[in-house]
């Protein structure tokens, strides 16, 4: 994710979304979760990132991300639950 750090400075960062246990890309749900995340990010008019301290992740930022005021992890979790429910009914 490219982030405007202010004062004309931008950075490109990998961010781990706090509050969402993302599926591995090699799993059945992985490609769906990635696609949903990309769709949500590209469709958002405003993206707010609040970094959080996480002692387990040293390579990436851990953050709460809000898309147009809505928590991204909550939105992804809702979609994932819907996908699982549909699969159970099949």
20: Cβ–Cβ under 8 A, 6 or more apart, which residues? Answer: 72, 73, 76, 77
pLDDT at position 1, please? 72
CATH class (in words) of the domain with range 2-89 = mainly beta
Cα separation, 9 vs 34, whole angstroms: 27
pLDDT at position 58, please? 65
Q: Is the dihedral of CA 55, 18, 26, 85 positive or negative?
A: positive
What would the pLDDT profile of 55-89 be if each residue is shown by its tens digit?
A: 666 667 788 999 999 999 999 888 888 877 888 88
Top mean pLDDT of 17-21, 24-28, 47-51, 84-88 is at: 47-51
pLDDT at position 8, please? 87
* C-beta contacts of 28-37 below 8 A and 24+ residues apart: 29/80, 29/83, 32/80, 32/83, 33/76, 33/80, 36/76, 36/79, 37/72, 37/76
Pairing, β 61-67 against β 47-52: antiparallel
Structural domain boundaries in the chain: 2-89
What would the pLDDT profile of 35-58 be if each residue is shown by its tens digit?
A: 888 999 999 999 998 887 766 666
């Amino acid at each position: 994710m490219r982030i405007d750090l202010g004062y004309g400075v931008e950075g490109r960062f990998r961010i781990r979304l706090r509050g969402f246990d993302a599926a591995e890309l090699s799993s059945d749900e992985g490609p769906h979760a990635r696609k949903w995340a990309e769709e949500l990010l590209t469709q958002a008019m405003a993206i707010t990132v609040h970094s959080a301290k996480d002692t387990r992740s040293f390579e990436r930022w851990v953050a709460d991300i809000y898309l147009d005021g809505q928590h991204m992890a909550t939105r992804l979790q809702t979609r994932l639950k819907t996908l699982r429910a549909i699969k159970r009914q099949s």
